Structure 1
Amino acid sequence: MNNSSSQEIPNFLQLFKTCASFNSFDCDSNHSTKRFGDELFLQRPTRSQQLSNPNKKIVIGDDSWLRRGVSISSETNSPERQFERQDFFSSFRVPINFCDEHEGSNRLQHFEKDAVNYITPETLYKNANDITLFDCRYKFEFEGGHIQGATHLCNPFEIESIFFKQIPTIKPVIVLYCEFSEKRSVQIYKQIRNTDRHLNVYPKLYYLDLYILNKGFSNYSLQYPSQIEGKYIRMDSKEYSTQYKEQKYQTDNQWNSLKLKKRLQKINI
């Protein structure tokens, strides 16, 4: 009886791993794009088709983040559509598939603090046309006002779909920010960088040019008010206290769920 039980357990684990592999991101896009949060980090992204034909149109579901100044909140169900990623990154003019941390690149002038790269408001203003901006504040803050061209990114489960499902052949320059660029944007930054490290062999990276806007939206909106769409809404504004509590609770749960998922993956459950 004991021998039979011991043989059934490894068979069950093998079956589970097989099912997990089947449900990875190579599945039909109609299903995988709606469930990307459930299979986070299960496999490396595919790149062979892109490299052999960089002009090929790719369907990856909700591509609204490619359109500047939009929200990609999971609460919005946008229809699937085709796009050419090459067009979005064409302004960068740097065809590169891997970045080497020790090789340098056409990087922005920046400074480092606690293993995070920061750029000044002046650097962002001067290079705005060549930068992809992500606003990591809560949705009510973003909808109230944001830097021109910024895309909303607050849910950590969206990182896999946005940055790692399909790797761009043109190297983007990515800048993140939140209200003061002290916590929320730093969390997103570290999650992107850690995932990049996980998928590559050091010192290779997909996204070397990854930065945070120093002092955040609060400071930038004062220095460059003409670059702001809408107005600055503080996170702790009494007028939006209900939205703050609801969205903070939702975002905290998302981060906690991600941490739990990573722990379970480490012990192969």
Structure 2
Amino acid sequence: MAPNRSHSCPGPMPTLEVYVPLLPLIKSSKLPDLNVISPATVQMLLDGSFNDVLHGFHFIDCRFDHEFVGGTLQGAKSLMLPQDVEAEFFHPKAYLTSKRTALILFCEYSAQRAPKMYRFSPPPPSMTTLDRARHIRNLDRRLHADKYPTLHYPELYVIDGGYKHCFESHQGVCAPPASYVAMDHPDHVEACKKALSGLRSSWKKLRTPSKASPKWC
């Protein structure tokens, strides 16, 4: 008897919803993998231009304490360590509105600290230890490992040029009185060294495998 070679037709393949950021993006050759917004969009956020599409937004200042005290954006939260961000935003109460809440990160230039806090996933072992860390996106992906591409915080952004760019081009977005203190300001050398050491230590702890599965809720 000839073998039965008939096959049942599979059902339609599920389609993944295409994510479209709610805020207007700009192209960044330095950060091509991130959602980057301009200082002008920061001004529009503060003016309420996106109140109809967002439940709310948070400016996350990833700079060191002496920089934050020396000037920041209106309403910004000083969260320079990864565990600070996790404690602030990764808990059940925050999840109630997280889908439409924008997390907007920045550092002095948005070149190192803010992008590091943002990035999508842990890099391969071949990359340098400086870049091997878990970030907001990676944590969110881990929490939804069986529900890709679901995220608690799909609206995640970095400000182009960081606080320095905002201060120079749109001082109205800065908390009054608008001011700016650089990370390497000569009056804060020791504070900078201490903060940098603490930041490196925090990322190093995240790179160290834990025997127990973390509880993020």
Instruction: Tell whether the structures are fold-level matches, with TM greater than 0.5.
Output: yes
Distance 1:101-1:144 versus aligned 2 partners, 3 A rule: farther
1:147 is paired with a residue of what secondary structure? coil
2:80 is paired with a residue of what secondary structure? coil
Higher helix share: 1
**Structure 2: how far apart are the matches of 1:265 and 1:115?**
31
The answer for the alignment partner of 1:92 in structure 2 is none
The answer for the alignment partner of 1:120 in structure 2 is 38
Is the 2:40–2:170 contact (alpha carbons within 8 Å) kept by the matching residues of 1? no
Q: CA deviation at 1:226?
A: 2.8
Per-residue displacement from partner, 1:203-262 (whole Å, max 9, x unpaired)? 1111111000011000100111232224100011111111111111111111111211xx
The answer for the alignment partner of 1:264 in structure 2 is 210
Q: Does 1:144 align with 2:144?
A: no
Is the 1:101–1:208 contact (alpha carbons within 8 Å) kept by the matching residues of 2? no
The answer for the alignment partner of 1:175 in structure 2 is 104
User: Residues 16-165 of structure 1: matches in 2 within 5 Å?
Assistant: 102-104=17-19, 107-111=22-26, 113-128=31-46, 129=48, 130-165=56-91
Distance 1:106-1:194 versus aligned 2 partners, 3 A rule: closer
2:60 is paired with a residue of what secondary structure? strand
TM-score by length of 1: 0.57
**Structure 1: how far apart are the matches of 2:211 and 2:141?**
17
Q: CA deviation at 1:131?
A: 2.9
Q: CA deviation at 1:267?
A: 10
The answer for the alignment partner of 1:199 in structure 2 is 143
Is the 2:164–2:180 contact (alpha carbons within 8 Å) kept by the matching residues of 1? yes
Is the 1:157–1:258 contact (alpha carbons within 8 Å) kept by the matching residues of 2? no
The answer for the alignment partner of 1:72 in structure 2 is none
Higher RCO (Cα < 8 Å, 6 or more apart): 2
Distance 1:267-1:207 versus aligned 2 partners, 3 A rule: closer
The answer for the alignment partner of 1:23 in structure 2 is none
Residue identity matched to 1:147: L
**Structure 1 alignment gaps of length 5 or more:** 1-99
TM-score by length of 2: 0.70
1:132 is paired with a residue of what secondary structure? strand
1:205 is paired with a residue of what secondary structure? coil
The answer for the alignment partner of 1:208 in structure 2 is 154
Distance 1:264-1:234 versus aligned 2 partners, 3 A rule: same
Picking from 115, 119, 134, the partner of 1:186 is 115
Q: CA deviation at 1:115?
A: 2.1
Picking from 154, 171, 194, the partner of 1:246 is 194
**Structure 1: how far apart are the matches of 2:184 and 2:16?**
38
Q: Does 1:236 align with 2:151?
A: no
Per-residue displacement from partner, 1:13-64 (whole Å, max 9, x unpaired)? xxxxxxxxxxxxxxxxxxxxxxxxxxxxxxxxxxxxxxxxxxxxxxxxxxxx
Picking from 166, 189, 203, the partner of 1:220 is 166
Is the 1:174–1:210 contact (alpha carbons within 8 Å) kept by the matching residues of 2? yes
The answer for the alignment partner of 1:73 in structure 2 is none
- How big is the alpha-carbon RMSD for the aligned residues of Structure 1 and Structure 2? 2.4
**Structure 2 alignment gaps of length 5 or more:** 1-14, 49-55, 120-134
2:72 is paired with a residue of what secondary structure? strand
Distance 1:101-1:232 versus aligned 2 partners, 3 A rule: farther
Q: CA deviation at 1:265?
A: 4.2
How many residues of Structure 1 are paired with residues of Structure 2 in the alignment? Answer: 167
What is the percentage of aligned positions where both structures have the same residue?
A: 27
